[in-house]
């Protein structure tokens, strides 16, 4: 059966049936075309707002599959979308009329405990990575939800509970294997291209398909962590307390705060501490935080690192529509906190939330020139995440998110590239890097992907223009 590709740029045209057959034979993984029963499920991503129809989805089981898929796309004139864990809030893992290189079968994680190194396939999730590394009592900074891909998260920077101890996920990236737009397999890092490794440390999926990530590991766990739940009426005091504690926090303490609605329908403010160090020290550091209020519920406990890494999973199911906006913040003065509290009082959906993550510690100690990731001295990261169960709520939720995002502009300094969503414009990508790093990334892009084959990402065009 002939397969037709429809894309906004090129209109409709048939795909070469022989070439499709040859790719299907070449791949160890499966090739899903629109006539295939699994196609509709495979084109879904975490953000249920995203409903795109790629030309085909190539499940890649090894590097050779990725080389074959990219070669096919080049010969057929198809753009390429790359899927790791499918968590991009903007839905970049799928695109209309593109070939999706789906790396989910490449999820193997090998650990060398002696060298404290992990070698992970480009489609592994943090759940898999943490399970493999924790089997040896080791870990590296990774995302707080176990189903997020190591790929997108690391390539954009990588915030997590261990970042104040060990830097961002990308700071722990020692080397990588990359399939480039012209089908070469290149090594980034020691023995390979050092500039490419610099670009992969925060520059996103712009330079090719990363088929292997090598991470440095650290001894981690058990940790002291969990959630302290306060009623939303106390949000003004809790947020001020949060700010004051984070100003003095040791690097071993990570502390996030979220305003959200509990599963029982009660508006709450939750402090989320994770202490990575000797438990007795953690008990001492967390004692005043646990005593404050006191909270309605104290779920802080000594737990395996893998448990802390999945404790929020249930709150982030796949498939709900999501509108997500974000700013890095210079600080959280009383006026900024009052703005957030007032907006939370007008929240349009019980599934929406406001999250503040405290950075600092090792994130700020790492040399700014060592990575494309830039905003190392931002103190906090703000995420305004709207989700809704009923399509009739969409407009109100989106407007609420935009209003709070606008109101927080005076406190903002750039943005985290991985927290850009469907509503963000290309100039926001430049804001993530600053002009100098943006131009350096554009030069690297021009070297590795001059035709911008990899453009379904937080895109840095080879020209360096923001469009
Ligand atoms: C529920 C949830 C929790 C999150 N928690 C965190 C968090 O704790 N910390 C944090 O920093 N961020 C977090 N994020 C943001 C997250 O970092 C980004 O959404 C990231 O893009 C997810 O990566 P992914 O591989 O799952 O996404 P995908 O949607 O699969 O990929 C996104 C983009 O990344 C690129 N990409 C992915 N893998 C590869 C690869 N192997 N080679 C080349 N390019 C690749 C591609 O450009 C792709 O379009 C979270 C997001 C969600 C939805």
The pLDDT tens digits for 302-316 are 999 999 999 999 999
Site to substitute for ligand 1 among 84, 109, 272, 355, most atoms within 8 A of C-beta:
84
- Local confidence band at 75 (pLDDT 50, 70, 90 cut-offs): very high
Can you give the pLDDT at residue 2? 60
pLDDT digits (tens, 9 = 90+) for 18-43: 999 999 999 999 999 999 999 999 99
The mean per-residue pLDDT over the stretch 66-87 comes to 97
Taken as a whole, the chain contains a residue count of 467
List pLDDT tens digits, range 157-173: 999 999 999 999 999 99
Q: What is the C-alpha R_g of the chain?
A: 22
As for ligand 1, residues whose beta carbon falls within 6 Å of it are 46, 82-89, 92-93, 103, 122, 143-145, 148-149, 151-153, 155-160, 204-205, 209-210, 316, 418, 456-457
SS3 content of the chain, % helix, strand, coil (to 5): 35, 25, 40
Q: What is the residue extent of each domain of the chain?
A: 3-102, 109-220, 223-419
Q: Which tens digit of pLDDT belongs to each residue from 94-139?
A: 999 999 999 999 999 999 999 999 999 999 999 999 999 999 999 9
| CA atoms within a 13 Å half-sphere pointing along the CA-CB vector of 252 | 19
The answer to whether the beta carbons of residues 214 and 174 sit under 8 Å apart is yes
Contacts of 441 (CB under 8 A, 6+ apart): 199, 203, 206, 372, 433, 460
Q: Is the domain defined by 3-102 classed in CATH 3.30.43.10? A: yes
Q: What is the pLDDT of residues 231-270, one digit of tens each?
A: 999 999 999 999 999 999 999 999 999 999 999 999 999 9
Predicted local distance difference test score (pLDDT) of residue 144? 97
| CATH for 109-220, options being 3.40.190.170, 3.30.465.10, 3.30.70.1150, 3.60.21.10 | 3.30.465.10
Q: How far is the CA of 221 from the centre of ligand 1 (A)?
A: 25
Mutate to test the pocket of ligand 1, among 70, 153, 272 (most ligand atoms within 8 A of CB): 153
Q: Measure 47 CA to ligand 1 centroid, in angstroms.
A: 12
| Whether the predicted pLDDT of 6 surpasses 70 | no
Q: How far, CA to CA in Å, does 71 sit from each of 6, 28, 29, 99, 317?
A: 20, 15, 16, 11, 34
Q: Whole-number mean pLDDT of the chain?
A: 95
Predicted confidence at residue 16, as pLDDT, reads 87
Residue with tokens 């209020």, as numbered in its chain: 293
Spatial separation of the C-alpha atoms in residues 257 and 263, rounded to whole Å: 17
- pLDDT > 70 fraction of the chain, expressed in percent and rounded: 97
> 0.95 cut: is pTM over it?
yes
Q: Any idea which residue has 């993550």 for tokens?
A: 357
pLDDT value of position 281: 98
Res 15: pLDDT: 82
Going by C-beta distance under 8 Å and a sequence separation of 6 or more, which residues neighbour residue 353? 258, 259, 260, 261, 385
Note the pLDDT tens digit of each residue in 441-461.
999 999 999 999 999 999 999
Name the residue with higher pLDDT: 423 or 52. Answer: 52
- Per-residue pLDDT band for 8 (boundaries 50, 70, 90) equals low
Would you call the peptide bond into 24 cis, given omega within 30 degrees of 0 as the criterion?
no
Report in angstroms the alpha-carbon separations of 412 from 164, 333, 371, 373: 21, 12, 21, 17
How does strand 117-121 pair with strand 209-216?
A: antiparallel
Residue 204: what pLDDT?
Answer: 97
The fold of the 223-419 domain, in CATH, is Vanillyl-alcohol Oxidase; Chain A, domain 3 (3.40.462)
Q: CA dist 261 to 237, 344, 346, 447, Å?
A: 18, 10, 12, 47
Q: For residue 64, report the distance from its CA to the centre of ligand 1, in Å.
A: 23
Residue 426, pLDDT score: 85
Using CA atoms of 405, 406, 411, 413 in order, give the dihedral in degrees to the nearest 10: 80
Between the CA of 415 and the centroid of ligand 1 the distance, in Å, is 15
């Amino acid at each position: 059966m002939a397969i037709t590709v429809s894309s906004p740029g090129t209109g409709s045209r048939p795909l070469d049936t022989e070439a499709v057959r040859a790719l299907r034979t070449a791949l160890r993984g499966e090739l899903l075309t629109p006539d295939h029963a699994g196609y509709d499920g495979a084109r879904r991503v975490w953000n249920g707002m995203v409903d795109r129809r790629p030309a085909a989805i190539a499940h890649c089981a090894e590097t050779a599959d990725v080389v074959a898929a990219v070669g096919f796309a080049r010969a057929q004139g198809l753009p390429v979308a790359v899927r790791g864990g499918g968590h991009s809030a903007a839905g970049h893992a799928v695109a209309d009329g593109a070939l999706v290189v789906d790396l989910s079968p490449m999820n193997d994680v090998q650990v060398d405990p002696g060298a404290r190194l992990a070698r992970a396939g480009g489609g592994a999730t943090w759940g898999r990575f943490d399970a493999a590394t924790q089997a040896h009592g080791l870990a590296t900074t990774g995302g707080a939800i176990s189903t997020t891909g190591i790929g997108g998260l690391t390539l954009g920077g990588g915030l997590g509970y261990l970042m104040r101890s060990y830097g961002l996920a990308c700071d722990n990236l020692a080397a990588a294997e990359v399939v480039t737009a012209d089908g070469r397999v290149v090594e980034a890092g020691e023995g390979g291209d050092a500039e490419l490794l610099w670009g992969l440390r925060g520059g996103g999926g712009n330079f090719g398909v990363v088929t292997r990530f090598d991470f440095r590991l650290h001894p981690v766990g058990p940790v002291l962590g969990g959630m302290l739940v306060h009623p939303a009426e106390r949000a003004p005091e809790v947020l001020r307390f949060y700010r004051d504690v984070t100003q003095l926090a040791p690097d071993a303490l990570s502390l996030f705060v979220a305003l959200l609605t509990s599963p029982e329908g009660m508006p709450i403010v939750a402090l989320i501490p994770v202490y990575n160090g000797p438990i007795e020290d953690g008990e001492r550091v967390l004692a005043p935080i646990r005593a404050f209020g006191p909270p309605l519920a104290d779920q802080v406990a000594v737990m395996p690192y893998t448990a802390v890494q999945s404790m929020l999973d249930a709150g982030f199911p796949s498939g709900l529509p999501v509108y997500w906006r974000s700013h890095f913040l210079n600080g959280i003065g009383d006026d900024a906190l009052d703005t957030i509290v007032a907006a939370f009082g007008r929240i349009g959906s019980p599934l929406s939330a406001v999250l503040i993550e405290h950075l600092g510690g090792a994130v700020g100690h790492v040399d700014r020139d060592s990575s494309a990731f830039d905003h190392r001295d931002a103190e906090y990261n703000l995420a305004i995440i709207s989700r809704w169960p009923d399509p009739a709520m969409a407009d109100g939720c989106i407007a609420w998110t935009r209003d709070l995002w606008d109101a927080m502009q005076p406190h903002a300094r750039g943005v985290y590239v991985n927290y850009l969503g469907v509503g963000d414009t290309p100039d926001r990508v430049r804001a993530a890097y600053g002009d100098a790093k943006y131009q350096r990334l554009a030069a690297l892009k021009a070297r590795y992907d001059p035709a911008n084959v990899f453009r379904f990402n937080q895109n840095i065009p080879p020209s360096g223009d923001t469009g």
